[in-house]
Amino acid sequence: MEAINNLNYANLQPKEIREKIRAEQITWNTSGMCAGYAQANLVILPKAQAYDFLLFAQRNPKSCPLLEVSDPGSRSLKYIAQDADIARDIPKYRVYKDGILEGEFTDVAAFWNDELVSFLIGCSFSFESALLEAGVPVRHIEEGRNVPMYITNIPCVPAGIFSGNMVVSMRPIPHSLVVKAVTVTASMPRVHGAPVHIGDPASIGIKDISRPEFGDAVTINDGEVPVFWCCGVTPQSVVMNSKPKFVITHAPGHMFITDIKNVDLKD
Amino acid sequence: MEAINNLNYANLQPKEIREKIRAEQITWNTSGMCAGYAQANLVILPKAQAYDFLLFAQRNPKSCPLLEVSDPGSRSLKYIAQDADIARDIPKYRVYKDGILEGEFTDVAAFWNDELVSFLIGCSFSFESALLEAGVPVRHIEEGRNVPMYITNIPCVPAGIFSGNMVVSMRPIPHSLVVKAVTVTASMPRVHGAPVHIGDPASIGIKDISRPEFGDAVTINDGEVPVFWCCGVTPQSVVMNSKPKFVITHAPGHMFITDIKNVDLKD
């Protein structure tokens, strides 16, 4: 049996990959697929909760940068992907009822109804590719790990039923490249934008930098500064905190591949 | 009787002015008051229409840059002004029922109910002050007129009941300062951001630059280029197009004065 190597999928077009995902020929994580194209986080909520979530995103744009919000009940998208079926074009979904995981599915068409609204949210994959192009190292990629993520003491601005503290991702950056890391990511507000914090982890409530709440710890070398960015886990986490009656998300790492190039997410 | 001169109010703090407005000591337009502080457009809709309007803003951020969205039923704001009463702190409101103007009021507390949501929208006053500081002339201010506004052939992205073409404002800029006008305003995405169009009016559907649909015509000198920005009239215009059952707006020029400095609207 051949090992799966996503590099084999780096040069395919987003539409081709989405078709393979829809046909369940691809059921694994999308990391590295369709080089240069933005991937998106997904949250699907009934319209009754969608207003509060849209308001949460408006009030917390760095944590929850919306790339597209579908029309209620629609399974297609209009702006970030053509001919997409949001109920089938992600390799693995998670369905929650009353805050409890119902299961993981490769297709959620069976759960669909006319009230569901899909929120596609920008993802740090896009700015990491910009950092690498600018010569800024991205440690967890170098070390083949997941990015380390931490729960901070920074409250998100609440909106209706949704509230909670900000979750941040951390990348150790050499002193001489910190300013470049800020300016490169600041130019991409639709994928979390500039860092929220540079340096001292304790001042944002992180007790032990070697023990992230999500993802993996990474090496911080002498002469490097931990730099913290808003993270797409925040909206997922505040949605789960509210124990909604029904929600569908992507499974971690199993993203929606858009037709938008990362460079087009620059201001 | 003393003539009203808003320059007398240029150095007051926003809270002081809002108190005078609330006490109906100020009932006229707010142009030039509280120099350096951002002023905002207002649209108040029942929650049943608020979702579509919030979605419209998400899909059309340059036309409809939200500075704050209130909680349903609340008359106070949390982020852009302290101790404000949104039902009384604007000098003149317009109330519409079934798309027809019910009247103008200095206080809309009598119309209030638990379903109303207030949308505070960024205003070009903020970027005009940044243009002037950067040495870019603003013609309608020089000529003591209202900014000229035009209905374009550029459709907004529709959302639910709201749709319509983009309305733009125009400022003639000398060739040598066009780039500066772009970069200065691009850094202020919460107040319409960079221009949508530079030059040829016909290519965005403007037939006669000397006959704006709203506001006043201004002089365009030889060597100047008409530069077009998204305009806060767009959200008002799409709301009116939809003939909503009930909506409250500010009367033109009678804005909400925020506690936010214009410089803080820079990225």
Residues in B closer than 8 angstroms to A189, CB to CB, are 189, 267
> B157–A69: do the CB atoms touch at under 8 Å?
no
Cβ contact A154:A223 at 8 Å: no
- Per-residue confidence band for B2, with pLDDT thresholds at 50, 70 and 90: very low
What pLDDT, on a 0 to 100 scale, did the predictor assign at position B77?
96
Q: How far is A51 from chain B (nearest CA, A)?
A: 6
The continuous run of DSSP H or E covering A184 comes out as: helix A178-186
Phi, psi of A159 (to 5 degrees): -150, 110
What pLDDT, on a 0 to 100 scale, did the predictor assign at position A144?
84
Whole-angstrom CA distances from B67 to A4, B42, B72, B160 are 47, 10, 16, 22
> B157–A79: do the CB atoms touch at under 8 Å?
yes
Q: Rounded CA gap, A181 and A136, in Å?
A: 7
Chain A, window 88-107: residues with a beta carbon less than 8 angstroms from a chain B beta carbon:
none
Residues in B closer than 8 angstroms to A54, CB to CB, are 51, 54-55, 58
Instruction: Decide if pLDDT at A267 tops 90.
Output: no
Q: How far is B17 from chain A (nearest CA, A)?
A: 26
Q: CB distance from B58 to chain A under 8 Å? A: yes
Rg (CA), chain A: 18
Q: CB distance from A186 to chain B under 8 Å? A: yes
What pLDDT, on a 0 to 100 scale, did the predictor assign at position B91?
96
| Tens-digit pLDDT profile for residues B61-73 | 999 999 999 999 9
What pLDDT, on a 0 to 100 scale, did the predictor assign at position B36?
87
Query: What integer is the mean pLDDT of B118-124?
Result: 93
What pLDDT, on a 0 to 100 scale, did the predictor assign at position A247?
96
Residue of B49, B55, B117 best to disrupt the A interface, most CBs of A under 10 A: B55
Name the burial class of residue A123, with classes exposed (0-12), middle (13-18) and buried (19+) by CB atoms within 10 angstroms of its CB. Answer: buried
What pLDDT, on a 0 to 100 scale, did the predictor assign at position A2?
46
Q: Rounded CA gap, A181 and A130, in Å?
A: 9
- Name which of A55, A66, A69 is nearest B69 (Cβ-Cβ): A55
Specify the pTM.
Answer: 0.85
ipTM strictly over 0.85? Answer: no
Q: How far is B49 from chain A (nearest CA, A)?
A: 11
Cβ contact B109:B88 at 8 Å: yes
Q: Rounded CA gap, A78 and A69, in Å?
A: 9
Residues 6+ apart with CB under 8 A from A112: A75, A87
Q: How far is A193 from chain B (nearest CA, A)?
A: 10
Residues in A closer than 8 angstroms to B160, CB to CB, are 71
| Tens-digit pLDDT profile for residues A57-107 | 999 999 999 999 999 999 999 999 999 999 999 999 999 999 889 999 999
Q: CB distance from B120 to chain A under 8 Å? A: no
Q: CB distance from B134 to chain A under 8 Å? A: no
Residues in A closer than 8 angstroms to B47, CB to CB, are 51
Q: CB distance from A267 to chain B under 8 Å? A: yes
Closest residue on chain B to A117 (Cα): B55
- Whose tokens are 């950092």? That residue is A131
| Averaged pLDDT of chain B | 92
Q: Which domains are seen in chain B, by residue range? A: 6-123+239-265 (3.40.1640.10), 125-235 (3.30.2040.10)
> A54–B55: do the CB atoms touch at under 8 Å?
yes
What pLDDT, on a 0 to 100 scale, did the predictor assign at position B266?
75
Q: How far is B197 from chain A (nearest CA, A)?
A: 16
Q: CB distance from B10 to chain A under 8 Å? A: no
- Per-residue confidence band for B1, with pLDDT thresholds at 50, 70 and 90: very low
What pLDDT, on a 0 to 100 scale, did the predictor assign at position B228?
97
Whole-angstrom CA distances from B112 to A77, B184, B212, B248, B266 are 37, 39, 35, 10, 34
Residues in B closer than 8 angstroms to A160, CB to CB, are 71
What pLDDT, on a 0 to 100 scale, did the predictor assign at position B224?
97
Instruction: Decide if pLDDT at B46 tops 50.
Output: yes
Please give the interface size between A and B, counted as residue pairs whose CB atoms are below 8 Å apart: 36
**Percentage with pLDDT > 70 across chain B:** 98
Burial A19-43 (b: 16+ CB within 10 A, else e): bbbbeeebeebbeebbeebbbbbbb
Q: Rounded CA gap, B213 and B115, in Å?
A: 33
Closest residue on chain B to A158 (Cα): B71
Q: Supply A148's token pair.
A: 């380390």
Residues in A closer than 8 angstroms to B66, CB to CB, are 58
Q: What string of DSSP letters covers A27-86?
A: -S--TT-STTEEEEEEEEEEHHHHHHHHHHHHH-TTTS-EEEEPPTT----SSS-SS--T
What pLDDT, on a 0 to 100 scale, did the predictor assign at position B112?
97
What pLDDT, on a 0 to 100 scale, did the predictor assign at position B189?
83
| Tens-digit pLDDT profile for residues B157-171 | 999 999 999 999 999
Instruction: Decide if pLDDT at A141 tops 90.
Output: no
Instruction: Decide if pLDDT at B187 tops 90.
Output: no
| Tens-digit pLDDT profile for residues B236-257 | 889 988 888 999 999 988 999 9
CB atoms inside a 10 Å sphere around CB A11: 11
Residues 6+ apart with CB under 8 A from A113: A46, A73
| Tens-digit pLDDT profile for residues A10-61 | 889 999 999 999 999 999 988 888 988 999 999 999 999 999 999 999 999 9
Instruction: Decide if pLDDT at B4 tops 70.
Output: no
Q: How far is B117 from chain A (nearest CA, A)?
A: 11
Considering only CA atoms, which of B177, B193, B252 is closest in space to residue B228? B193
> A186–B57: do the CB atoms touch at under 8 Å?
no
> B224-230 and B165-174 as β-strands: parallel, antiparallel, unpaired?
antiparallel
- Per-residue confidence band for B124, with pLDDT thresholds at 50, 70 and 90: confident
- Of residues B223 and B33, the one with the higher pLDDT is B223
| Tens-digit pLDDT profile for residues A53-66 | 999 999 999 999 99
| Tens-digit pLDDT profile for residues B49-62 | 999 999 999 999 99
- Name which of B57, B79, B186 is nearest A267 (Cβ-Cβ): B186
Query: What integer is the mean pLDDT of B227-234?
Result: 93
